[in-house]
A = this chain, B = another copy of it.
Amino acid sequence: MEVGAPDYLAGERQTAEFDVESMKVTWAGSRHALEVSDRMARLVASDPVFRKDNRVMLSRKELFKNTLRKAAHAWKRIVELRLTEEEASRVRFFVDEPAFTDLHWGMFVPAIKGQGTEEQQQKWLPLAYKMQIIGCYAQTELGHGSNVQGLETTATFDPKTDEFIIHSPTLTSSKWWPGGLGKVSTHAVAYARLIVDGQEHGVHGFIVQLRSLDDHMPLPGITVGDIGMKFGSGAYNSMDNGVLRFDNVRIPRDQMLMRVLQVTREGKVIQSDVPRQLIYGTMVFVRQTIVADASCALSRAVCIATRYSAVRRQFGSQNGGPETQVIDYKTQQSRLFPLLASAYAFRFVSEWLKSLYTDVTEKLQRGEFSTLPEAHACTAGLKSITTSATADAIEECRKLCGGHGYLANSGLPELFAVYVPACTYEGDNTVLLLQVARFLVKTVSQLGSGKVPVGTTAYMGRARHLIQCKSNVQSAEDWLNPQVVVEAFEARSLRMSVACAENLAKFPNPEEGFAQLAADLVEAAAAHCQLIVVTKFFEKLQQDIPGKGVKKQLQILSSVYALYILHKHLGDFLSTGSITPKQGALANDQLRSLYSKIRPNAVALVDAFNYTDHYLSSVLGRYDGNVYPTLYEEAWKDPLNDSVVPDGYQEYIRPLLKQQIRNARL
């Protein structure tokens, strides 16, 4: 905010009952993380090259070129300022524009790290780190996304030349979607069916050079391009998601990523002693970042809607006084505050996932694999429920802003358009929940066998208790007790999983049963994942959380999150008998009074995200709340306002008005 500028939300900020600076630290994860974030956010915001407000006006070509410019400029700043890896990644985050660099750093490099041998890593990683090559992750094809084993691209070993021949045998085998592929990447990790001596050996990754490093022209046998416009304006259209076809492209044998499976000079296929479970590590990592991104996107939308709801007044003027701030309406609160709570909930669960990743990595190194399926199921499920909830929440925030939310410069339409594919990529959310369900049903079926469920399924070990326990909530206050809440969530989740398992048992063929009951299974999986989020939020509160009033606010938010989910899925809780209708009503009463407690803190709670106006890029979400003059000024910048009389008047409007339409040549 400029020095001396008026703060229309100052009154809101004064009512806060906690120390916002301390909350910022808690949100960021540490004082250090906050400091880095803050510094990088300002660095980006103050640099005119990183301007974002014109994105939606640009044509596809202009937008894309501008993205290239930003990516190069960001890299330049990173080099010039000798930024650390952490700082560099924050810079990319605040540049806030999907770009080939996301895939280069987020998928290409990790794929080589995870699936390449020591030798391969030594050869390729330095090139990638310095961006002497730019890579993408080319897995999905026109015909196959979710079903990776169904990919059709082939990699056939030619023992004569010691090469693989990469080929796209059908139209549907065309690579389709990889980000950064269309126009930028010089290399790809491409996935293909390995064929050696006429034998198939499953799908593996191959480093393939796509373009000449001299003039960027596609190499012989390579057809590559962009797949076209995607959802929205601006949004993900800055990314060159690409199409790629191989016409018998030859690559040296050592460009197959061979950490797990090797093909020797002689054409022998050898399983290495590196365990296949390794991939779980990478998956946990990637999905942790997606959950963290969910909390960012959600908090951003909530920040905009909360500030604007405090600025916007409608109805309720008494004796000519000001109207009611729409944030004071209970309907507005009951739609908005659970999303605020969800933003915090997702933040903390992503923090916990980070520690899970460390844990998994350590275990992998120690050769301990038994807990991996649980970690894998848990991250898959959390990816699914947090991204689905976030996508819905962004649109709800937009609706909470009434008509003005529909303007591009509210920031919410583009945020939605750019966010929604998170429900699809890195695993379609429904497909992921089915995986979780499979794991849960298995866990339930093994309960009798003495196998002790671990990690986030540990509660299933108390099945005997949870299957018949009764909640002893007797007053609305009782719902503030985390133990009470967690038990209700555990009972609901366990009973849903058990019910599924019992129903499955009625089918002679378990696979057939799984297929028939899929919709119920998905609901059970979601219930399990919601329990995890609730639990991790409560666990966070057992830590020492410094700052006046901070813990208190988080307690309120944790209860809001839990009781909101309970209210939303009341059918589950009642039909499993986990709580009674009376107890459900008490939860609702408690929820209502919690909203009143959030109200005076709402604006401060979104200030704690520490977002710059540049990052928010929303007229409605401005820090200073000065919404109306800005909306008015921005309007005149639209190209349609270049002239008072619009282009097309002579040809198409005037003939109408002058009744000359019959003779008009249109």
This protein's copies in its complex: 2
How does the 8 Å CB contact mask read for A174-191 relative to B, with 1 for contact and 0 for none? 101100001110100000
Instruction: Determine whether the beta carbon of B131 is less than 8 Å from that of A657.
Output: yes
CB neighbours of A69 from chain B (8 A): 648, 651-652, 666
Tally A residues with Cβ within 8 Å of B. 144
How does the 8 Å CB contact mask read for A214-232 relative to B, with 1 for contact and 0 for none? 0111100000011111111
Known contacts A227-B638, A395-B395, A399-B424; A519/B334 CB under 8 A: yes
Interface stretch, picked from A440-448, A471-479, A624-632, is A624-632
Instruction: Determine whether the beta carbon of B661 is less than 8 Å from that of A79.
Output: yes
CB neighbours of A592 from chain B (8 A): 516, 519
Tell me the A332-349 residues at the B interface (CB within 8 Å): 332-335
CB neighbours of A10 from chain B (8 A): none
Q: State the CA gap A398–B519 with chains docked (Å).
A: 19
Question: CB-nearest residue of chain B relative to A412?
Answer: B231
Known contacts A515-B329, A571-B571; A638/B229 CB under 8 A: yes
Instruction: Determine whether the beta carbon of B76 is less than 8 Å from that of A661.
Output: yes
CB neighbours of A519 from chain B (8 A): 330-331, 333-334, 592
CB neighbours of A649 from chain B (8 A): 68, 216
Instruction: Determine whether the beta carbon of B584 is less than 8 Å from that of A72.
Output: no
Please tell me if A641 contacts chain B, counting CB pairs below 8 Å.
Answer: yes
Please tell me if A114 contacts chain B, counting CB pairs below 8 Å.
Answer: no
Partner of A228, one of B215, B637, B662: B637
Please tell me if A406 contacts chain B, counting CB pairs below 8 Å.
Answer: yes
Partner of A174, one of B217, B632, B648: B632
Partner of A65, one of B323, B392, B648: B648
Instruction: Determine whether the beta carbon of A75 is less than 8 Å from that of B661.
Output: yes
Tell me the A491-541 residues at the B interface (CB within 8 Å): 515-520, 522
Please tell me if A481 contacts chain B, counting CB pairs below 8 Å.
Answer: no
Please tell me if A545 contacts chain B, counting CB pairs below 8 Å.
Answer: no
A146, A186, A403, A588 — most chain B CB neighbours (10 Å): A403
Instruction: Determine whether the beta carbon of A421 is less than 8 Å from that of B434.
Output: no
Query: What are 12 A-B pairs at a CB distance below 8 A?
Result: A71-B656, A73-B666, A76-B664, A150-B314, A172-B628, A174-B632, A183-B640, A217-B645, A229-B638, A232-B413, A329-B518, A574-B581
Q: Which residues of A contact B (CB under 8 A)?
A: 49, 56-57, 59-61, 64-65, 68-69, 71-73, 75-76, 79-80, 130-134, 140, 142-147, 150, 171-172, 174, 176-177, 182-184, 186, 213, 215-218, 225-233, 236, 240, 243, 313-315, 317, 323, 329-335, 391-392, 395, 398-399, 402-403, 405-409, 413, 417, 420-421, 423-425, 428-430, 434, 515-520, 522, 567, 569-577, 581, 584-585, 588, 592, 628-629, 631-632, 634-642, 644-649, 651-657, 659, 661-662, 664, 666
Q: Identify 11 new A-B residue pairs, CB closer than 8 A, beyond the known A56-B233, A75-B656, A331-B518.
A: A61-B639, A72-B652, A76-B666, A132-B657, A134-B657, A145-B402, A176-B403, A225-B636, A228-B637, A228-B638, A329-B515
